[in-house]
Chains A and B, each alone.
Chain A
Amino acid sequence: DTVLTQSPALAVSPGERVTISCRASESVSTLMHWYQQKPGQQPKLLIYKASNLASGVPARFSGSGSGTDFTFTIDPVEADDIATYYCHQSWNSPPTFGGGTKLELK
């Protein structure tokens, strides 16, 4: 299975720029997607196919990358963005998720 590796946690302040990385154990082309999950809620799609903004998602969120290295950026961070962010690949079977990066306030 394709293993996706994310940093477990990041501390941020509102107004800052934050970048979350996701490294795949093998190429996933550009079929990497990003989700936001707040406590007690279902995940929400933010970015699909590496760099495409999902419908209704603010332009503060962006994604880039291809192959094995991907980044997800929030610029600027708002207090409401405190959540856990997951990457997800669907190029290789089975689809797999990263372990999640929890954004915390400094």
Chain B
Amino acid sequence: EVQLVESGGGLVQPGRSMKLSCAASGFTFSDYYMAWVRQAPKKGLEWVASISYEGSSTYYGDSVKGRFTISRDNAKSTLYLQMNSLRSEDTATYYCARDPAWFAYWGQGTLVTVSS
């Protein structure tokens, strides 16, 4: 059974950093692109970033480019999202999802709240 479990969310002050993790199981992690998708409270879905099989290629949405970094550790079957210079508009539930093209599996999400 495919499982994606996010962790690392919480309350953070504007301008600070936070790192999210997503532990994957039930499939060969290194065979798939992976992605982060977020959802602000009561809002729709927004793609944040994607990463290739070995991590050599990364892709970002304009709203996070230069501030967020997606990475992976295939030995640990874990996906990461390093978030720097956080803003109030980054407040959202962050989901990891198995890519590419369509998101067949999603984690349960981790809530990040950016507030002073």
A residues contacting B by CB (< 8 A) are: 31, 33, 35, 41-45, 48-49, 54, 86, 88, 90, 93-100
Q: Lowest 4 CB-CB distances: which A-B pairs, in order?
A: A42-B106, A33-B102, A48-B102, A97-B45
Contacts of A93 in B (CB 8 A): 59
Q: Is there an interface contact between A94 and B45, defined as CB atoms closer than 8 Å?
A: no
Contacts of B100 in A (CB 8 A): 90
Of B46, B101, B107, the residue contacting A97 (CB under 8 A) is B46
Q: Is there an interface contact between A98 and B47, defined as CB atoms closer than 8 Å?
A: no
Q: Given contacts A45-B102, A86-B44, A90-B100, could you give 13 more A-B pairs where the C-beta distance is less than 8 Å? A: A31-B102, A42-B95, A42-B106, A42-B107, A42-B109, A43-B103, A43-B106, A45-B103, A48-B104, A88-B102, A97-B44, A97-B47, A98-B44
20 contacts between A and B (CB under 8 A): A31-B101, A33-B102, A35-B103, A43-B103, A43-B106, A44-B106, A48-B104, A86-B44, A88-B45, A88-B103, A90-B100, A90-B102, A93-B59, A94-B59, A94-B61, A96-B47, A97-B44, A97-B45, A97-B47, A100-B45
